[in-house]
Amino acid sequence: MLDTDEVTTVVVPNLQIGLIELAALLTPEAQGLLGYYSHVDLDTDDCGVELKVSCYNKDDFRNLRKAFGGGKWMKTYTDWDYTEARTVSPNLTITLNSSRGAVCERVQVGTRQVVKPDPDALKELQKSVKQVTVDEPIYEWDCGPQKGA
């Protein structure tokens, strides 16, 4: 475990260096783009600085990525999010995030063989099965007055 003196000598210089490196990257173009966004976070939890920016469309994402320069950007995505992060130094990371649907395009990259029922056989089977009418419940979301409101 680090004592107070060790934390001061390690964390504060790393934070200062990270902030200095960030200031050097904030070109007028980058500053203008950041001023446009409503969600920009500066995280200082990991003995350095991480600038986190949420982008709302593909053009904004590309413009910000370009404004923060080259280098290796690590790309990750989930069912909902798309993120690119660039480790500028041990003291500074830039992270751009957007919804996957706003930045990515779904493209076919191949095919695979799967076993499915024969559509013609299903049609024949449906002809021989008796059809019945049943009542099914219908659901909606009710976001009316909240409890305690």
Say how many CA atoms lie within 13 Å of 25 toward its Cβ: 26
52 part of a folded domain: yes
Under the banding of pLDDT at 50, 70 and 90, the label for residue 143 is low
Q: What's this model's pTM, rounded to 2 decimal places?
A: 0.58
Which residue, 61, 57, 81, is CA-closest to 73? 61
The total domain count for the chain is 1
Domain containing 22 equals 4-103
| pLDDT (0 to 100) of residue 57 | 83
pLDDT for 90-108, tens place per residue?
Answer: 888 888 888 888 888 888 8
Q: Between the ranges 54-63, 64-73, 114-123, where is the mean pLDDT highest?
A: 114-123
Q: Is residue 128 part of a domain?
A: no
The answer to whether residue 64 scores a pLDDT higher than 80 is: yes
The answer to whether position 117 is within a domain reads: no
Say if 43 falls within a structural domain.
yes
Q: Could you report the per-residue pLDDT of 5-31, keeping only the tens digit for each?
A: 443 334 456 666 666 676 666 666 666
Indicate whether 19 belongs to any domain.
yes
Residues 104, 95: Cα–Cα separation, whole Å: 17
Alpha carbons 18 and 90: distance in angstroms, whole number: 8
